[in-house]
Structure 1
Amino acid sequence: MLGSWKQAKSIAFLEWKMSFWKSIFSLLIVFTVYTSLILFTYSMSDRAVGIADVLFILLFTFVPTWCKPKEFQYQQINGNLWASPSIVMIQNLPITKDVIIKSRLILYFFHSFPIQLLTLVLIYILSEEIQLAVSPVSYFVFIIIWLSFGIYVGYGVVTTDTGTKASHTGKLTVFLGFFVLIALLLLVASFPIFFQHGIVEWSMIIAQRYPFLSTTISIVFVCLGIQYWKAIMKKTMNQVDYL
């Protein structure tokens, strides 16, 4: 078990080195823009609750993948095959599918966790409004909640790397992306209307009122999420012909 994770880490680190400078440049831009926008939305009080929620959800799902260089992103390889070029290239290596899948999870972690953690920390340091509303201990729980969300939900984005082989995949991907975006906007819009607070505000309240319970549930969801997305990726790799 540990040996497979070690091998997966080596593969992920090799790809990370190949895309390091482009990825770092993109991540720094995202880090600067996101931190500034989130701080700005909180300074606008209730009028910008929905904007902050959208920024948070995107940061912990799609944004890390968008920051990868284009040559490493999900794309049309040949014919009807759509996948990450890295997945196709490493198929010929003497490694198991389990190692390949774990390398994708680790690589996504490289792209996501540092920028997400730094953004969350700086938001608290630079926002007097949040400091007055949430204690350092409660905000630490809040960080755990969102970093965990970035794993048990965000890792779902990684499953696209393993690819698919079907006609009209490009159109389907565009349609699904548009559908997800609309659903996200509707969800974000409905929260302040029906539940008084936005998604981010509610997560702060939960972190304050139920720190132990929310931390425990987050950790459980992380464990379940990793196993679930690994199973989905393995199923996809068994179905897709990469030749």
Structure 2
Amino acid sequence: MMKFILSVASPMRNLQSYDRYLFVGPHPDDIEIGAGATAAKLVAKGKTVAFVIALDGRYGFENAPKGITPEALIEIRKKEALASAAALGVTDVTFLGLSDGAQYEMKDLHHALAKAIGDFGPDVVFAPDPNLISECHQDHLNVGEAVRQLAFFAPFADIMQQYDAKPAQVVALAYYYTAHPNTYVRTSGFVAQQLAAIFDHHLSQFPEHSVAAQSVAQYLKLRSFFLGLRRLGLHAEGFRMLDRTRMHVVSEAGR
């Protein structure tokens, strides 16, 4: 009931009604897996979309070619990320270059992300949900938490100045990799583009015809189909969206 009252008292704008969108990924490939079809749809709608990749992916060895060094893998994954983003229609990609595997100071992550947010000036920031109880990858938790803090403080010039960053009028935060979506974007017509961006380009992580590629592709197809059923569409992606009202104090927004 209280959640319903909040929706009546302060309805959220449609997630697709804004102009500038910044997608933040912990590693190369996270944005595409978590929100790639939505990013492609926003580009197709004429929105301004940019990607920020926080970490260099040096420890993504599980499916990478045998014997490759971390330094070589960093460069491979950077090229893959650029090609994958371009396949979604995104050409504005920023690499923060911090080390994968939580090998960084949180203050450095905050400074780098704050600068990226201030430079781009997004209306909406996408990031992994730091509240996902099953998430065991510290990088995902760290990046999501840093974005959560910065999204709220971004409009405050004095606070952003402490990060050597410009203020940005962020008005909404959208979590991907979330267990509790409250907003859905219909993505029929963009799922194939998402899959191609991942599996045609992130080959160090998803080699062609590998078990990893096949299982993740099947998961994404099924996820988009069942999320689509919730909104009477063929396919959809789901996000936990918080506007500025829901970012602070309003406990019902967390349900």
Shared fold (TM-score, shorter chain, > 0.5): no
Q: Which has the higher helix share?
A: 1
| Highest RCO, 1 vs 2 (Cα 8 Å, sep ≥ 6) | 1
> Which one has a larger percent strand, Structure 1 or Structure 2?
2
How high is the TM-score relative to the length of structure 1? 0.27
